[in-house]
Amino acid sequence: MNDKVGGPSLDEVVTLAAAHGLAFRGAFHPEAGDGVLPLPDGATPGTVALLGFVGGRSWPAFAASPELGDGRPDPLDRWSRRVVEGLAAALGAMPLLPFGGPPWLPFQRWAMKAEAVYPSPTGMLIHPDWGLWHGYRGALAFREALALPPRDPRASPCESCAGKPCLAACPVGAFTPDGYDVAACAGHLATPAGRDCMERSCRARRACPVGAELAYGREQSAFHMRAFRAARVAR
């Protein structure tokens, strides 16, 4: 672990990120093999703090942004870049983003080091509180090894979920123990029968009981589903 100390406190990171519409999503001290980029001078970062969405808490900040209303492609990525890079400049960190590749940074691996999230049967990461209603929009790499709280010891809620309702909820059976049939999912969304998923979010995601009360609202759900479908068409 990097032993450099100093830099902002974790509370400062949490507070400033929240003021700009992003939730703090945990942090970790990088080790060899984590795939964290070096700082501009070649030094290894001492801390990586992840930022993202949890439930609908952050949606209003993006919904009111100029990026969403300017009609140009990729509004969420452009908003995320602006906010994360601004936070990095204010806090003396290097910005890291989960888009813009290749190469793609291993955000899911980092997330599992930073907080109590685990792969779910759908392939999405599940959190004991937020369920499947969360996402990662960027990270801040600090030179210093910031003081971090103890890791959340809670196990994956999927371990105690006997029924696995997420696997049976998909109308086209796209989620199976063998993996995610992306083509079947995308094909369904392009039909009239897929309107429910397009407007209210994936049925498999909605079937998960964990954090169900924190599900995205219709506007947020529809935005993400349109973005997913557009990305599939672009391929």
What average pLDDT does range 89-117 have in this prediction? Answer: 96
Number of structural domains, the chain?
A: 2
Q: Among the three residues 97, 112, 142, which one is the final residue of a domain in this structure?
A: 142
Rounded mean pLDDT, 56-82 = 96
Q: Is residue 47 within a helix (H) or strand (E), and if so which, with residue range?
A: strand 47-54
In tens, the pLDDT along 180-202 reads 899 999 999 999 999 999 999 99
pLDDT confidence of residue 86: 98
Q: What is the pLDDT of residue 1?
A: 35
d(CA 128, CA 39): 33
Residue 4 scores a pLDDT above 70: no
In tens, the pLDDT along 9-49 reads 999 999 999 999 999 999 999 999 999 999 999 999 999 99
For the chain, the distance separating the N- and C-terminal CA atoms, rounded to the nearest angstrom, is 40
130 and 165 inside one domain: no
pLDDT of the residue at 131: 98
**Using CA atoms, how far apart are residues 83 and 56, in angstroms rounded to an integer?**
18
174 within some domain: yes
Q: What is the pLDDT of residue 16?
A: 98
Q: Which domain holds residue 47?
A: 10-142
Regarding whether 22 and 123 lie in a shared domain, the answer is yes
Please report the DSSP string for 145-200 in residue order.
----PPPP-PPPGGGG-SS-HHHHH-TT--EETTEE-HHHHHHHHTSGGGHHHHHH
Q: What is the pLDDT of residue 226?
A: 94
> What is the rounded average pLDDT of the residues 154-175?
93
Residue 20 and residue 112 in one domain: yes
| Domain limit, last residue, from 73, 107, 142 | 142
Q: In the prediction, which pLDDT does 231 show?
A: 81
Query: Is 19 within the bounds of a domain?
Result: yes
Mean pLDDT of the chain, nearest integer? 94
pLDDT score for 2:
41
Closest-CA residue to 14 (of 143, 149, 152, 156): 149
Q: Would you state the pLDDT for residue 176?
A: 75
Domain-located, residue 5: no
pLDDT of residue 235: 56
Q: Are 129 and 209 found together in one domain?
A: no
Would you say 225 and 201 are in contact if contact means Cβ atoms under 8 Å apart? yes
- What is the model's pTM? 0.93
Distance CA 133, CA 103 (A): 26
pLDDT of residue 68: 97
